[in-house]
Chains A and B, each alone.
Chain A
Amino acid sequence: MKHSKELIVGLSLAAAVVVFALGIRFLQDVPLFRSTYVLYTHFESAGGLSGGSPIRINGVDVGAVENVRLDTDNRVRVRLHLDDNVHIPEGSHAEIGGIAALGSNYVVVFPGPPGNPAIPGDGYIEGVSSPDAFEAVTERSVRLTENVEEALANANVLLEDTGLLIGETGADIRPTLRALREVTDALAQTLREEQESVKEIISNVEIVSEDLARISGTSADTLAQTLHRLDQITVHIEGSLKTLEDATQNLDEILEKINNGEGTIARLLNDPTLYIQMGSTLGAVDALLQDLQDNPRKYLRHMDIVDVF
């Protein structure tokens, strides 16, 4: 009798421990009885990743993060629990996906060549740190604006100088023209480069808005914050566009002066490279303007979906 009482108490406690442990495993999406194996990886930043975050290959859940720790060298060490039937070949790498601000991070595994042997348990999979899509947008657009502004400021100064020189007949315009060519070269290059990054930004923004649309409804506050940030970016980009327009106007004015000019015009016109250079620069500026003016609409359209919530 006495023993059976102790037995019942013991049994119920043991049952509770088992249910608790299995329950946590179950809710973490770790298979209850099927075994898993462990890989670990390093990231520069955990970026919102935590124990229980899913692991995905091509969008399919294949396991869960067990824990996220700081290593002795301050890098982030992440233990991954992967389902036993998932084979990750050598040469694969892992990245952090999702948006930290919305608490929906996951680990994306990009499998290496399928022919390679699988990484064994407790092995290491390379972790590639890609900045959070959001941070990327903010960082990039700020950098872009700065670059463009700098180039434009330089151009303005030089163009003003040129205007001054053109007004004074008989002055030697040669160094001025050389400088102008350098400037336009630089401007063209900047614009060409930044056109790429603007495209990248736009595609990033699209990813973000897709993520937003998917997760919408879970955290309205974070969404409001996100929208606010995106608005700021737009304002920024619009500011840069205005500066760019001012600059082109300046260029137009100068060209007009050159066309109507006196003795120096011939020499100026004899330098076709400059002309072509200017033409292509203006073309690039136009394209950029077009792109930038179109694209805010593009992501604002995505925003509209989000606004429903």
Chain B
Amino acid sequence: MTYSLTWFLRPFTILGRYSLLIFHAFVSLDDFRTYRKNTFNQMMRIGVESIPIVALAAAFSGAVTTVQVSYQLVSVFLPATVIGSVVAPSMILELGPVVTGFILAGRVGARIAAELGTMRVTEQIDALEAMGLNSTSYLIAPRILAGIIMFPMLYVAACAIGIGGGIAVANLGGYLTTQEFVQGAQDFFRPFDPYFGLSKAFVFGFIITSVSCYMGYFTAGGAEGVGKSTTQAAVMSCVFILIADLVLAVTLL
């Protein structure tokens, strides 16, 4: 009875602990000077250093979508421009943010969890606290800030490169010309779409960094514990990205 109750309440306990951790990280930011350098370091690591892998993934997903759409929508009644009308919005609305999110859940999420987990098991977090620093503000706040600032940047890069990849393959594969692609993209373009994608990226940035910080910060059990946290961080980030993706689509579209 007690056991099943505990089991039932566990998700809420975790949610509460997670919220308090994030809250704690941001309420007692006493001196921004202390965290500024850290924030810039994290922006470099989370954002700038992720550009190549995000670019690669985006270029390929744009290219693959173009090829598949041209394969699926072969019809004498459909103009070739339809391919552009499908690929560009898919990239802007869904593929851009989600592909970026998944790649970074692995790359950034795992890294954050491993860093913080190692700091936890080697008592570095205790050392920060014992010095009189707020370890959450020092470690978590810069990472989350870097996440929510740099993810939208990566999203923009992913969209531009993804659509570029689509156009490139459309030309090289002889599916349609750049002009047709662009014409199709422009015909059904809604200015709300990029802002929606941008807000997705913002939310995903927060989810990945905060979930991974939580996993890393509460690591226990030595090297094995660090490994567990790292895996959990990547997996849970992906799960919550999917959930948030659906919630945002339902509420904002």
> Do chains A and B make direct contact within the complex (CB under 8 angstroms)?
yes
Q: Are A16 and B190 in contact (CB under 8 A)?
A: no
Q: Are A13 and B149 in contact (CB under 8 A)?
A: yes
9-residue interface stretch from B2-10, B64-72, B153-161, B214-222 = B153-161
Interface membership of A45, Cβ < 8 A? no
Give the distance to chain A from B253, nearest Cβ to Cβ, in Å.
15
The A1-50 residues at the B interface (CB cut-off 8 A) are 2, 5-6, 8-9, 12-13, 15-16, 19-20, 23-24, 26-29, 50
A8: B residues at CB distance < 8 A: 44, 48
Q: Are B194 and A12 in contact (CB under 8 A)?
A: no
9-residue interface stretch from B35-43, B99-107, B236-244 = B35-43
Q: Are B157 and A16 in contact (CB under 8 A)?
A: yes
Interface membership of A217, Cβ < 8 A? yes
Q: Are A2 and B37 in contact (CB under 8 A)?
A: yes
- With A and B bound together, what is the CA distance between A45 and B185 in angstroms? 27
- With A and B bound together, what is the CA distance between A15 and B153 in angstroms? 8
Interface membership of B47, Cβ < 8 A? yes
Q: Are A9 and B40 in contact (CB under 8 A)?
A: yes
B142-178 interface mask toward A, CB cutoff 8 Å, 1 = contact, 0 = none? Answer: 0000000110110011011000000000000000000
Interface membership of A275, Cβ < 8 A? no
A309: B residues at CB distance < 8 A: 77
- With A and B bound together, what is the CA distance between A8 and B77 in angstroms? 49
Interface membership of B23, Cβ < 8 A? no
Interface membership of B234, Cβ < 8 A? no
A15: B residues at CB distance < 8 A: 153
Interface membership of A216, Cβ < 8 A? yes
A20-B156, A23-B156, A27-B185 known; A12+B47 contact, CB < 8 A: yes
A24: B residues at CB distance < 8 A: 191, 194
Give the distance to chain A from B146, nearest Cβ to Cβ, in Å.
9
Interface membership of A123, Cβ < 8 A? no
- With A and B bound together, what is the CA distance between A20 and B96 in angstroms? 13
Give the distance to chain A from B42, nearest Cβ to Cβ, in Å.
10
B121: A residues at CB distance < 8 A: none
The B23-60 residues at the A interface (CB cut-off 8 A) are 37, 40-41, 43-44, 47-48, 51
Q: Are A28 and B186 in contact (CB under 8 A)?
A: yes
Instruction: Closest B residue to A13 by CB, please name it.
Output: B153
Contact partner, A16, options B43, B44, B77, B152, Cβ 8 Å: B152
Instruction: Closest B residue to A30 by CB, please name it.
Output: B186
Most buried by A among B75, B186, B190: B186
Give the distance to chain A from B186, nearest Cβ to Cβ, in Å.
5
A8-B44, A8-B48, A13-B149 known; A52+B191 contact, CB < 8 A: yes
Q: Are A217 and B47 in contact (CB under 8 A)?
A: no
B41: A residues at CB distance < 8 A: 5
The B70-118 residues at the A interface (CB cut-off 8 A) are 75, 77-78, 82, 88
B191: A residues at CB distance < 8 A: 24, 28, 51-52
A26: B residues at CB distance < 8 A: 186
- With A and B bound together, what is the CA distance between A29 and B51 in angstroms? 28
A23: B residues at CB distance < 8 A: 156, 159-160, 194
Q: Are A19 and B48 in contact (CB under 8 A)?
A: no
Q: Are B88 and A27 in contact (CB under 8 A)?
A: yes
Interface membership of A171, Cβ < 8 A? no
Give the distance to chain B from A31, nearest Cβ to Cβ, in Å.
12
Can you list 10 A-B contacts with CB-CB less than 8 angstroms, sorted by A residue number?
Answer: A9-B43, A12-B47, A13-B149, A15-B153, A23-B194, A24-B194, A27-B189, A29-B186, A51-B191, A217-B82
Chain A interface residues toward B at CB < 8 A: 2, 5-6, 8-9, 12-13, 15-16, 19-20, 23-24, 26-29, 50-52, 216-217, 308-309
Known: A27-B88, A52-B191. 13 other contacts (CB 8 A): A9-B40, A12-B153, A19-B156, A19-B157, A19-B160, A20-B156, A23-B156, A24-B194, A26-B186, A27-B185, A216-B77, A308-B77, A309-B77
Q: Nearest 4 A-B pairs (CB), nearest first? A: A16-B153, A27-B189, A16-B156, A29-B186
